């Protein structure tokens, strides 16, 4: 038993001895005799970066569920009260802004939303789930999608949300389609970061 304790003690001592050696370099007495101190300058030039994407990638096609209690015979499926909802998508953001500049995230469609269609977008969390730094403050109001950009997140400065679903800002899409039509080919919902 004593032997085991001794071995354990030696092991712990060894562990503490092999820790990386450090020195108080602020104390000249550590190096003025038989040593020296000097420095070089490391020059670095970093670029600004602002990127935003919608997760999951690569295919972020979404499907909508309908509350059966809103179905009405003779009306299109997505025409019911409240429309159909989807909460599968997340916005991820990485931003390095200069000085005190902040960026906004905005959303718009690349084509007019067809008549009879209504697409509403809402961010469910005010602040990023996970992440580090200033990743912005989301409005939790509902926005109706159109070709005119709507600002959905403000005050994005230097930070990152981390990558993937369940990181960043969760989106809720609500679709009402009273005419029973389809979205045109090439219809896109565009998210972008713009300087405030």
Partner 1 sequence: MKIFLKYILIFCCTYSCLGQLLPGTLYGTAGPTYSQTLGDLVSEAGEDDGTVAYETGASEVQITYRLDPGTLTSSAYNCSANVYKYKVFMHLQNAPVGLVLEARTFANAGTRYPLSISYDSFPLIGPRNLYPENGGDYIILPEDNTAAIKVFEFIGCRDNIPIQFRVAASVLSEPGVSNTEIYYTITGSLN
Which residues make up the interface to partner 1 (CB under 8 A)?
Answer: 20-26, 30-49, 51-53, 55, 92-98, 131-133, 158-164, 167-168
Of 18 and 148, the one with the shorter C-beta distance to partner 1 is: 18
Letter string b/e over residues 141-154, b meaning 16 or more CB atoms within 10 A of that residue's CB? eebebeeebbebbe
CB of 169 to partner 1, least distance (A): 11
Nearest CB to partner 1, comparing residues 26 and 65? 26
Q: Closest by alpha carbon to 172, among 111, 66, 84?
A: 84
Choose between 84 and 93: whose C-beta lies nearer to partner 1: 93
> Smallest gap, in angstroms, from Cβ of residue 42 to partner 1?
4
Cβ proximity to partner 1, 75 vs 190, nearer residue: 190
Cβ 4 to partner 1 shortest distance, Å: 30
Report, in Å, the least distance between residue 78 CB and partner 1. Answer: 30
Instruction: Decide if 143 contacts 52 (C-beta within 8 A).
Output: no
Integer Cα distance of 21 and 60 in angstroms: 50
Residues ≥6 apart with Cβ < 8 Å to 116: 177, 178, 179, 180, 181
Q: Identify which of residues 150 and 162 has a Cβ nearer to partner 1 in the complex.
A: 162
Q: Residue 82: CB partners within 8 Å, gap ≥ 6? A: 67, 70, 174
Distance CA 146, CA 117 (A): 11
Compute the least distance from the CB of residue 6 to partner 1, in Å: 26
Q: What is the rounded distance in angstroms from the CA atom of residue 33 to the CA atom of residue 85?
A: 74
């Amino acid at each position: 038993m004593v032997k085991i304790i001794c071995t354990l003690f030696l092991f712990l001592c060894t562990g503490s001895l092999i820790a990386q050696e450090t020195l108080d370099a602020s104390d000249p007495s550590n190096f003025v005799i038989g040593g020296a101190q000097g420095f070089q300058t490391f020059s670095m030039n970093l670029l600004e970066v602002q990127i935003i994407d919608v997760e999951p990638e690569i295919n972020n096609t979404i499907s909508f569920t309908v509350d059966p209690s809103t179905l009405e015979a003779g009306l299109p499926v997505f025409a019911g009260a409240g429309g159909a909802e989807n909460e599968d998508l997340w916005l991820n953001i990485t931003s390095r802004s200069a000085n005190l500049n902040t960026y906004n995230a905005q959303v718009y469609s690349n084509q007019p939303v067809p008549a009879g269609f209504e697409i509403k977008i809402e961010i469910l969390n005010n602040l990023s789930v996970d992440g580090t730094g200033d990743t912005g403050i989301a409005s939790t109001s509902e926005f109706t999608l159109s070709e005119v950009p709507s600002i959905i997140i403000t005050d994005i400065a230097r930070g990152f949300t981390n990558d993937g679903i369940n990181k960043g800002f969760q989106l809720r899409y609500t679709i009402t389609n009273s005419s029973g039509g389809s979205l045109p080919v090439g219809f896109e919902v565009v998210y972008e970061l713009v300087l405030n």
